[in-house]
Amino acid sequence: MSTELVRPTTPHLPHRLQGPRPGLRSPRSWAEALYAVIDLAPAIAFFVAIVTLLAVGTSLAIIYVGVPILAMGLLVARLGGLVQRSLGLALLDLPTASPGWAGPRRSGPISALAAILRDPGNWRAVAYFVIKIVLAPVTFAVAVGLYAGGLGALSYSLWRPFLAEQAASDGSLHRGAQWWPGFFVDSWASMALLALIGLGVLWCAPRVVAFLTTIDRILIVSLLSADASTP
């Protein structure tokens, strides 16, 4: 049988790495923020599953028992790639074509296993999740930190009355966050300053998240989709 890769029958789709200008009024920005939050769970789950299967399969490959486990790890990586491309389409407006499969050289289960093991699309998916296990937590932490911090600072005057009173060094009581010894955010001037800081953080949030998700877009296009040079 032919050893060439089986190419997808659908045409290669354009990759929309750019989009509308990010901002709090942009639906794209909120979709990217949602992506940053929910993407952490599949990134960790697939990385753990892939690394576990590949490690066990490699250690047992000398007695051939590990070869099917290695193949299973690669198939899990390919499945994870499908999940990531689906998330990219739904939340990042990133349509991509599925990579082709390597065809077996001859009939039989051994040849099928060999095709899975030599399929470059499977190994690119593994490489994606190796990078993703670093990128996903950073994107999650930055998105949650900026949006939550900005909203918290902007709405500080609304929830400040529910804070417990604290005693300053001079014995006076204050109900507010303490920035440094003797300074409490409990005056209108300090609260207005904090609100301005919150607005600045919220202005930066969608732009920083857009930068991080653009890195993910590039990785999805480069590692999880069909080769752009493929006709």
Instruction: List 6's β-bridge partners, or say none.
Output: 101
pLDDT at residue 2, rounded to an integer: 43
The interaxial angle of helices 188-219 and 27-38, nearest 10 deg, is: 70
Q: What angle do CA 17, 86, 48 make, to 5 degrees?
A: 105
Q: Do the domain assignments include residue 57? A: yes
The reply to whether 145 falls in a domain is yes
Q: Is residue 230, in this structure, part of any structural domain at all? A: no
Strand 101-102, strand 166-167: pairing: unpaired
Query: pLDDT tens, 121-174?
Result: 999 999 999 999 999 999 999 999 999 999 999 999 888 888 888 877 777 888
pTM (2 d.p.): 0.83
First to last CA, the chain: 22
Is residue 73 domain-resident? Answer: yes
**Which stretch of 23-27, 33-37, 136-140 has the lowest confidence by average pLDDT?**
23-27
DSSP 94: -
Q: What is the CA radius of gyration of the chain?
A: 25
- The answer to whether residues 124 and 99 touch, using CB atoms and an 8 Å cutoff, is yes
What pLDDT score was predicted for residue 139? Answer: 98
* pLDDT score for 180: 77
Task: Give the total number of structural domains in the chain.
Answer: 1
C-alpha–C-alpha distance, residues 154 and 47, integer Å: 37
Is 142 inside any structural domain? yes
Residue 32, domain member (yes or no): yes
Domain limits for position 167: 5-224
- With tokens 């999940």, the residue in question is 83
Which amino acid appears at position 137 of this protein?
A: P
Tell me if 109 is assigned to some domain.
Answer: yes
231, part of any domain: no
* 20 pLDDT tier (thresholds 50, 70, 90): low
